[in-house]
């Protein structure tokens, strides 16, 4: 029986190529892979795509990421089985989707906002202000904040969709990426952005609300975009990766 051919997500294709090189011995155990910038140039993809691919490989146990140093091949006791995640979007793909959808929702919410809605948003923000050191609670309240905004326009389908889209943040790939970049300081930044969104929606200004939501979700991408080997690149003035062999990729 024939099965429909599904196009593979770009970051999975990149991960497959790097995995093949590792498993064939092109990159030895303990060897540092080329830096993100170099990989992006060689493979003709964006750095966020490279970052998603490297995170996928770390979840599989093929590489180990050392912040400020680079990505290293790990010792394998046996051939690892790839994580079956063909239906999982990459973290940056999710954030871009949320930016498109939730900006429009914030715009509409500003047209329908009531004092009761503002009270609910304020209640969520009050709780969020004391959870910067508790990421699990912060994430739950983050979800509540965004679904509350979607609920303002009283469209059950959109409310459910925003929640489901947010829940994809709980994938192994997104959680691993967040483990490197989220901190009390980053949650404090996000909180201030949430408060700006609340103020914009409460003002009844659709353009301001859309802009505040767009800023927040773009900043979320920025927070996850610091290169794993950024310190090496800035110190040496060229991509990390040492004497990486250019013929490999």
Q: What percentage of the chain has pLDDT greater than the value 90? A: 44
Distance separating alpha carbons of residues 49 and 39, to the nearest angstrom: 10
Q: Which residues neighbour 148 within 8 Å (Cβ) at sequence distance 6 or greater?
A: 117, 120, 121, 124
pLDDT beyond 60 at 233: no
Render pLDDT for 124-149 as a digit per residue (tens, 0 to 9).
999 999 999 998 899 999 999 999 99
pLDDT of 197 reads 98
Q: Is the pLDDT of residue 83 over 70?
A: no
Q: Can you give the pLDDT at residue 25?
A: 84
Looking up tokens 């979700």 gives 217
Provide the pLDDT confidence category of residue 223 given band limits of 50, 70 and 90: confident
| pTM confidence score | 0.73
Q: Which pLDDT belongs to residue 3?
A: 40
The full set of domains in the chain, from first to last, is 10-86+228-236 (1.10.10.10), 91-223 (1.20.120.530)
- 2 versus 69: which is more confidently predicted? 69
Asked if 148 and 121 touch (Cβ cutoff 8 Å), the reply is: yes
Closest CA to 10 of 96, 98, 79, 102: 96
How much of the chain exceeds pLDDT 70, in percent? 83
The β-bridge partners of 65 are: 71
The DSSP secondary structure of the chain, one letter per residue, reads ---PPPPPPHHHHHHHHHHHHHHTTSS-TTPBPPPHHHHHHHHT--HHHHHHHHHHHHHHTSEEEETTTEEEEPP-SSPPPPP--TTPPPHHHHHHHHHHHHHHHHHHHHHH--HHHHHHHHHHHHHHTT-TT-HHHHHHHHHHHHHHHHHHTT-HHHHHHHHHHHHGGGSHHHHHHHHHH--HHHHHHHHHHHHHHHHHHHTT-HHHHHHHHHHHHHHHHHHT-S-TTHHHHHHHSS-S-SS--TT--
Work out the average pLDDT over 18-25: 87
Report pLDDT digits (tens) over 173-220: 788 888 888 899 999 999 999 999 999 999 999 999 999 999 999 999
How much is the pLDDT for 76? 66
pLDDT at 234 over 60: no
Calculate the average pLDDT of the chain.
84
């Amino acid at each position: 029986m024939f099965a429909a051919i599904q196009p593979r997500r770009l970051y999975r294709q990149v991960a497959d190529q790097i995995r093949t090189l590792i498993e064939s011995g092109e990159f030895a155990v303990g060897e540092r892979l080329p830096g993100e910038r170099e990989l992006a140039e060689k493979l003709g993809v964006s750095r966020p795509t490279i970052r998603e691919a490297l995170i996928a490989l770390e979840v599989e146990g093929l590489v180990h990421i050392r912040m400020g140093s680079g990505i290293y091949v790990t010792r394998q006791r046996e051939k690892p089985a790839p994580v079956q995640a063909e239906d999982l979007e990459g973290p940056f793909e999710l954030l871009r989707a949320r930016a498109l959808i939730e900006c429009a929702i914030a715009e509409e919410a500003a047209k329908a906002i009531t004092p009761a809605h503002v009270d609910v948003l304020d209640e969520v923000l009050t709780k969020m202000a004391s959870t910067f050191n508790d990421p699990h609670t912060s994430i739950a309240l983050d979800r509540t904040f965004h679904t509350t905004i979607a609920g303002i326009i009283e469209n059950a389908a959109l409310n459910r969709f925003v929640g489901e889209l947010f829940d994809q943040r709980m994938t192994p790939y997104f959680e691993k990426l967040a483990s490197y970049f989220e901190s009390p300081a980053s949650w404090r930044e996000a909180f201030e952005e949430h408060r700006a969104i609340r103020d914009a929606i409460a003002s009844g200004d659709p353009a301001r609300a859309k802009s505040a939501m767009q800023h927040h979700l773009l900043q979320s991408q920025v927070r996850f975009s610091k290169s794993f080997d950024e310190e090496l690149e800035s110190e040496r003035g060229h991509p990390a990766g040492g004497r990486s062999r250019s013929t490999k990729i």
